[in-house]
Amino acid sequence: MARTQVAIIGAGPAGLMLGALLARHGVDAVILEARSRDHVEHRIRAGVLEQGTVDAMDEVGAGARMHAQALVHDGAILRFGGRSHRVDFRALTGKAVTIYGQHELVRDLVALRVAAGAPLEFEVDDVRLTGLETARPEVRFRRAGVETVLHCDFVAGCDGFHGVARAAIPSERLRIFERDYPFGWLGILADAPPSSHELVYAHHDRGFALLSMRSPQVSRLYLQCAADEDLAAWSDARIWDELAVRLAADDFTLTPGPITQRSITPMRSFVAEPMRHGNLMLAGDAAHIVPPTGAKGLNLAIADVRLLAEALAAHYAGDPALLDSYSAACLRRVWKVERFSWWMTRLLHRFDDGAFAARIQRAELDYLVSSHAAQTTLAENYVGLPLR
């Protein structure tokens, strides 16, 4: 048997950041991860960091490589009707966003934990959570065929949408809110220099497209596609041709290159309430999913664990109030971010719901690029809302 104060399920950004923040508060934690270290460090996901996420990396001492390699963007480009319109985040809010791949952030946090000699177990299986409504929860798991029982005060479920944490909560204790969108994203990673110095969000009659990047040599691009799209039907040439059409504008040239990764991402919104059950706290994708249009999934997970770390530290200092209000505090922010992600998705994608709706969509885009107030609203949400 083993003992810790907090058992963290999942070594993605949320679990690793929670472990790092708790360590700074002197709270013991063990992190358990089903996948291998190599898998979690090379899993390509998000790459746009809010200032709050950058601040958290600095707070735990994991930000050096990020600052050396990341790209800072003071704005983003909206493109529709073949014309580009820049939204200046810095001028509107005084803040910017940082482009740094999620897998790189994970590598930094893993390295930080390993260097500290803090418990981090990869490739565990058969994870079972018991006693969640008691003062002494248990986490049972196997590693290399050996079963271990981990006793703890709290369990943090940071193990994603398909993990065991949320599934351990009786269904009658949860209220689920969800929406599935009738399309997905075909995403590629390409060894090609970015064709724009800032992100380009493009609305086109053929569907949405996004030009993003991971470094000065690597581009990340997306195309709206059918929810059940056959990835095999998309050759490299077809992908680049379609991107060129949807991203077209005056004085713009798309730079193609070898495609190193491709995948189809479903688009959905999901929230589970509450985010606490007994002494189990959910964080990140275990509790909520946002469509990627607003670049919020990773950042929302980091915001959750910033609140959770603060609440657990206060609990061990003798004040349970923050932990008691953890779910409500998170959900207030979660629903604002869900709203923004839904709005960005609705604004930029093709919806086959008639000519009237299409005209309304174009009118909203026209209003957005002509209104200082509307651009400020977009910028405030995109760079990140306050933690509370």
Q: Which residues are catalytic?
A: 73, 201, 292, 296, 382
What's the token pair of residue 251? 């004085």
* Residue 299 amino acid letter: N
Burial 285-316 (b: 16+ CB within 10 A, else e): bbbbbbbbbbbbbbbbbbbbbbbbbbbbbebb
Fill in the DSSP letter of residue 63.
-
d(CA 47, CA 52): 14
d(CA 272, CA 280): 14
Q: How far is CA 10 from the centre of its chain?
A: 14
What's the token pair of residue 118? 């803090």
Neighbours of 350 (CB within 10 A): 16
* Residue 357 amino acid letter: A
